[in-house]
Structure 1
């Protein structure tokens, strides 16, 4: 059974071979400090799940390296400050400063991410027996935190400003178009992510999650299903 077959069998409750699929997630810190061990793990326990290459024809406005000491600017214009090599920094200053989101036009919607090399993705998929995930990863809750800072966003969503809700719709439309384009390639699954838990509680009221975020995730999954893709 190939890795792709193993992952599909597992997701469809048909896996009877006694092994679960593998994918080693690690930050560059592990490579920098324990390269030999990381290489040994990869050699002995090959990943069954991989991500497709995301080769952009049009560069985004991002600057710097997210895992290097110093400043990194993401595709949306958010500034991260990093004081430790090998891990990801934090946003210290909001891009959207106004509590009513009147300055939301400062945000750059990274349409450049739609202009990726489709043939490179398809070629990669045809030349591996691994399960291939999309090279895009919508993360609406986290991206909003990067734009506004976590503390301010938590306050905003308790009484959402009109401009914030308008922006969320605009952001979600972009993410849907991005997922749709990736789902039309030969990848096996699309992926999206957000972090919803602290060490001892949920991060927001579940009713707000149901109202604002659950419908967005449903749209991504519906797009994946339309093209016969799995959702991660």
Structure 2
């Protein structure tokens, strides 16, 4: 392999399982093969006095929540304490399914200038792999209906769930028309489907309701030349094969040792790639540099055969109680073991 291969070409080869010279890197500093790009821009929504975080008495009274609150463009109300998080939805826009028609009216309108701005960035000339954000299906349903209702709806209101998801799919296809052909290599979709031990719904319900909608989106992205990254927290083993069938190229798992990583590589490494840090629950938070370094080295070995790993940092280590120096130790071990020599070999 040539030592002049760009980071973009390396990641393209990793994703395609096509003789990549090394695994991918997605760390905070210099060892980063990626570039993020804005994937969507919307026209401003109608003015709303509650669109920013604040102690809005009307929303607090409506929800019974005493902390900071705000309302998004869909009508979902979020709450948080202490101003330290992105908050959690505390009242969905679809309290009853009769509210769905109003929800559809609130779907954001795409800014017609978005595509021209992306083209002006000349992303095709970038030497890094360009990734943007994709849609969420389950998360959108969970916010609009709140978790308990959303899970009940899967069993009791499948027709409404289907209608809701189809609305999200149609919107995402409009977004795709805006960004296709602008030099973006991939889109990162995200839905947290798992608890520590299982998925929130059965594989049968996933297959019936969600799988066809994911596949429709992912097929459309593939047809326009873009790869699919899929983030999910929790343990979603029962969904992995279906996600691959739907078109996922890369799984973004921050807890690879929930499976563990050995199983991911053995069972799926010839069909998918894993975009993961050293495990953020079982390894990095220990602060044990010997353990962290050992597991980082083991993961290099685990994925050496198929190069089905893009090693990464977690976005915000302070949120999970991890000293960045501990993560840096993992990065150092990984880079040292997988970097290319001047002749392009590891």
TM-score range, shorter chain: 0.7 to 0.9
User: In the alignment, which of 102, 118, 131 is matched to residue 106 of structure 1?
Assistant: 102
Give the TM-score normalised by the residue count of structure 2.
0.54
Per the TM alignment, residue 190 of structure 1 is displaced from its structure 2 partner at its CA by 2.5
Cα shift readout 1:99-127 (whole Å, capped 9, x = no counterpart): xx112123144332354521221233145
What's 1:22 paired with? Answer: 25
Cα shift readout 1:81-139 (whole Å, capped 9, x = no counterpart): 122444321011122112xx1121231443323545212212331453111123x4210
Over aligned residues, Cα RMSD in angstroms? 2.6
Unaligned runs of 5+ in 1: 25-41
What secondary structure, in the 3-state scheme, does the structure 1 residue paired with 2:225 have? coil
- Distance, in Å, in 1 between the alignment partners of 2:212 and 2:142 is 19
What's 2:16 paired with? Answer: 12
| 1:64 correspondence with 2:52 | yes
- Distance, in Å, in 1 between the alignment partners of 2:82 and 2:179 is 33
Per the TM alignment, residue 189 of structure 1 is displaced from its structure 2 partner at its CA by 1.5
- The count of corresponding residues between Structure 1 and Structure 2 is 208
Where do residues 67-86 of structure 1 align in structure 2 (5 Å cutoff)?
70-86=68-84
What secondary structure, in the 3-state scheme, does the structure 2 residue paired with 1:22 have? strand
What's 1:28 paired with? Answer: none
Give the 3 Å change call, closer, same or farther, for CA 2–148 of structure 1 in structure 2: same
Per the TM alignment, residue 199 of structure 1 is displaced from its structure 2 partner at its CA by 0.9
Give the 3 Å change call, closer, same or farther, for CA 50–5 of structure 1 in structure 2: same
Do the aligned partners of 1:182 and 1:190 also contact (CA within 8 Å) in 2? no
Do the aligned partners of 1:94 and 1:148 also contact (CA within 8 Å) in 2? yes
- Distance, in Å, in 2 between the alignment partners of 1:16 and 1:82 is 44
Do the aligned partners of 2:91 and 2:146 also contact (CA within 8 Å) in 1? yes
